[in-house]
Chain A
Amino acid sequence: MIRFENVTKRYDGAREALSNVSIEVAAGELAFLTGRSGAGKSTVLKLVALIERPTRGQVIVDGRPLGKLGYHEIPAHRQQIGMVFQDNRLLNDRSAYENVALPLIISGIGEREIGRRTRAALDQVGLLDREKYPPRALSAGEQQRLAIARAIVSRPKVLIADEPTGNLDPDLSLEIMTLFRRLNEVGVTMLIASHDLQLVQKFGSRRIVLSGGQVSSSDTVDRAAGVGT
């Protein structure tokens, strides 16, 4: 589902953020990207979402080489991917409902369907009773669950998350990761960047360890997809 073939990414005037990286995440798999700050985890996710383009090599998502996508094809690609950010990037001048509905509005879906799917997503993360609240009125854990609802509302095949538990205490982190596991069990392919090794180990999913922009190890067979290296 997600494949990196000898991918190198160099930012202007800086060292290589990724150096000749080759990784593969199979359909339905839940994989964790781990490593210290600056290891290149966020860069991998940015390349998947086409926020950045590789300097060399090829990124393939759902069988489609992203290097061949023109600027005007990027929106359609991003609509196929659910994204959860470390700082959740929720819009505080809008209600929880409006935040979750945004990807559907962008996709040009009708109002009735938007209402149905948005409430279903809010229900899935346990926030249906908070739909009228602005994000700032929610707790940190609720905000992250809201961000997850926004990421899954379009029913993406792939979900990527960048340090989704970075700002949360251990209990809330576990709650969020359990939520990801639940979503993965219904077939969503997931690539989650996290520096919290202890938390990752609790889930027994495959870990892709990055160090200095290179894959230092990739272990553990994923339970859901049975894929590993």
Chain B
Amino acid sequence: MSTGIWLARHAQNMLGALGALSRNPVGTFLTVAVIGIALALPAALNVLVQTGKSAAGNWSDVRDFSVYMTPATPLVRAESLAGELRKRSGIDSVQLVTADAAVAELGKDPVFANALAALEGNPLPHTLVVRPAPEMDSEQLGKLSTELQKTPDVDLVKLDLQWAQRLNAGLDFLARLGWIAAVLLGAAVLVIVGNTIRLDIQTRTEEIEVAKLLGATDTFVRRPFLYLGLWYGLFGSLVAVLILAISLWVLGAPVARLAGLYGSSLELAGVGLGTLGAVLGGGLLAGWSGAWLAVSRHLSGLRPKD
């Protein structure tokens, strides 16, 4: 078969499948709507996780930890350690609070001012305030903390891991929930498309059998149904994206207002390219696979019997 004829056959099958969908608008709409809802749920969880990560960024100060140098450590050594830490991956920023700056800050409080005046020297050490990168999970934070604790001239590392652990655990849970939902609902889409195609095959059994008797290959028989599956997947994905976009638009203002009451500028994450690609790719793959399975199951019954 020449390339031109091959392309023409594919175009005919593709448009033919689209025509078949348009001839049954109500059935097509219902199937596409169910696929759309099934795909929208894991996508919504993904948006929630993205929003959570963004929130973790907004509240990054709760993950900051302090590295207290041993008293009498020279300022040069503290500056050198700050420089080393800034170069490390997983660390967003390092702020050096010198002993003089710390005592000056403390001295602004009248309660501490008198106590400090009674002391002969400055008892406070140089301190490094380390802000980890948002992608650092609690385990990585724990390791970094332990490592810094062993660094020469470091007296104490103070990390409020509980906050970070709670936040990261929550995000991990949501992310995994999203994956489980994606797998289960992806399988549901596969079943929905497979069953819809199976019904379509039943109405075209005679045509398939005749084509096979006349020498049609499995590929020839399968092709129009695969395009049907792809169309279902594509339209279902677009419906999912639409559902997601409308939901985010409806929820956007109340979430911003709620966050504002807690002094945060948190906003819901949008339907990014990643989510869009995952929904479209997932929908097309599930549609194609569902159709492939349905047709293959039917074709296996048409094999010559020994």
From B67-75, B79-87, B207-215, B232-240, the one touching the partner chain is B207-215
Number of interface residues of A (CB under 8 A): 31
Question: In the assembly, what is the distance between CA of A112 and CA of B146, in Å?
Answer: 78
Across the interface, do B220 and A83 meet the contact criterion of CB distance under 8 Å? no
11 contacts between A and B (CB under 8 A): A75-B220, A78-B212, A78-B213, A78-B214, A80-B215, A85-B213, A89-B210, A91-B206, A93-B207, A106-B220, A108-B1
- Which chain B residues have a beta carbon within 8 Å of chain A's beta carbons? 1-2, 4-6, 8-9, 206-207, 209-217, 220, 303-306
Question: In whole Å, how far is B263's beta carbon from the nearest beta carbon of chain A?
Answer: 67
With A and B bound together, what is the CA distance between A188 and B215 in angstroms? 18
Cβ contact of A52, chosen from B1, B214, B304, cutoff 8 A:
B304
Q: What's the minimum C-beta distance from B17 to chain A, rounded to whole angstroms?
A: 16
A50-B5 contact in complex given A75-B215, A75-B217, A83-B214, C-beta closer than 8 Å: no
Residues of A within 8 A of B303 (CB): 71
From B5, B206, B216, B304, give the contact of A106 (CB < 8 A). Answer: B216
Q: How near does chain A come to B302, taking the closest CB pair, in angstroms?
A: 9
A51 cross-chain contacts in B, Cβ below 8 A? 213, 304
Instruction: Find out whether the CB atom of A50 lies under 8 angstroms from the CB atom of B304.
Output: yes
Question: Cβ of A108 and Cβ of B9 under 8 Å apart?
Answer: yes
Within A50-84, the residues touching B (CB, 8 Å) are: 50-53, 55, 71-72, 74-80, 83
CB-contact partner of B210 in A76, A91, A111, under 8 A: A91
A102 touches B304 (CB 8 A): no
Closest to B206 in A: A91
Identify the closest chain A residue to B220 (Cβ).
A106
CB distance from A36 to the nearest CB of B (A): 24
Q: Is the interface of B mostly helix, strand, loop or mixed?
A: helix
Residues of chain A within 8 A of B6, CB atoms compared:
108
Interface residue? A107 (CB, 8 A): yes
Find the A residue at minimum CB distance from B207: A91
Among A103, A107, A110, point to the contact of B2 (Cβ < 8 A): A110
Collect the chain A residues with CB atoms within 8 Å of residue B220's CB.
75, 106
Q: For the complex, what is the distance from the CA of A106 to the CA of B4, rounded to whole Å? A: 15
B217 touches A72 (CB 8 A): yes
Given A52-B304, A53-B304, are A107 and B5 also a contact pair (CB < 8 Å)? Answer: no
- Asked if A148 is at the interface of the complex by the 8 Å CB criterion, the answer is no
A192 contacts B by Cβ under 8 Å: no
Q: For residue A150, which residues in chain B have a CB less than 8 angstroms away from its CB? A: 214
Going nearest first, the 10 A-B pairs with the smallest beta carbon separation are A108-B1, A79-B215, A78-B215, A75-B217, A75-B215, A106-B216, A103-B214, A53-B306, A53-B304, A89-B210
User: Does A102 contact B217, Cβ atoms closer than 8 Å?
Assistant: no
Chain B residues within an 8 Å CB radius of A53: 304-306
Expressed in whole angstroms, the Cα–Cα distance for A74 and B306 within the complex equals: 14
Contact A106 B306 (CB under 8 A): no
Q: A75, B210: Cβ atoms under 8 Å?
A: no
> Which chain B positions have C-beta within 8 A of A74?
304
A49 to B214, CA, bound (A): 9
Would B5 and A89 count as touching, CB distance under 8 A?
A: no
Given A79-B214, A106-B220, 13 new contacts (CB under 8 A)? A49-B213, A52-B304, A52-B305, A71-B304, A75-B215, A75-B220, A78-B212, A78-B213, A80-B215, A91-B206, A93-B207, A110-B2, A111-B8
Q: How far is the CA of A93 from the CA of B202 in the complex (A)?
A: 15
Give the one of B1, B206, B210, B220 with max A CB within 10 A: B210
For B211, list chain A residues within 8 Å (CB).
102, 106
Question: What is the 8 Å Cβ interface bit string for chain A, positions 146-159, against chain B (1 contact, 0 not)?
Answer: 00001000000000
Contacts of A89 in B (CB 8 A): 206, 209-210, 213
CA distance A102 to B212 in the complex (A): 11
A103/B304 in contact, CB under 8 A? no
Q: Assuming A50-B304, A51-B304, is B210 touching A102 (CB within 8 A)? A: yes
Q: How far is the CA of A69 from the CA of B293 in the complex (A)?
A: 25
